[in-house]
Amino acid sequence: MDIAMIPRLCRDAVNDLLTIGGAAGLSFKSPIQRAARNLQATCVHGFLLYDAGAEIHGKGLLGQAPGTPLI
């Protein structure tokens, strides 16, 4: 589950930087804004959804099929 938590923690840290930086951080020229968009996209990737991953991991621990054809 660490692989799903790391992008979330990074996204939260970059969002804190956006908040501290104010409106200048929202400019398309700002590297912080680009990092925030990239991390948000990463966090909603199918293989990195924390809740879905927890469900699949739990099923595996209980010896059940993961319920997805990809795994």
For residues 65 and 40, give the distance between their C-alpha atoms in angstroms, rounded to a whole number.
30
Structurally, the chain folds into a number of domains equal to 1
Does the pTM of the predicted model rise above 0.75?
Answer: no
Q: Is residue 9 part of a domain?
A: yes
Work out the angle at residue 49's Cα, subtended by the Cα atoms of residues 7 and 46, and round it to the nearest 5 degrees: 105
In order along its 71 residues, the chain shows pLDDT tens digits of 577 788 889 989 999 998 998 888 888 888 989 999 998 888 888 777 777 778 888 888 999 988 876 65
Domain that holds residue 21: 2-61
Q: Is residue 43 part of a domain?
A: yes
CA quadruple 8, 10, 11, 17: dihedral, nearest 10: 150
Q: Is residue 16 part of a domain?
A: yes
Give the pLDDT confidence score for residue 5 in this predicted structure: 83
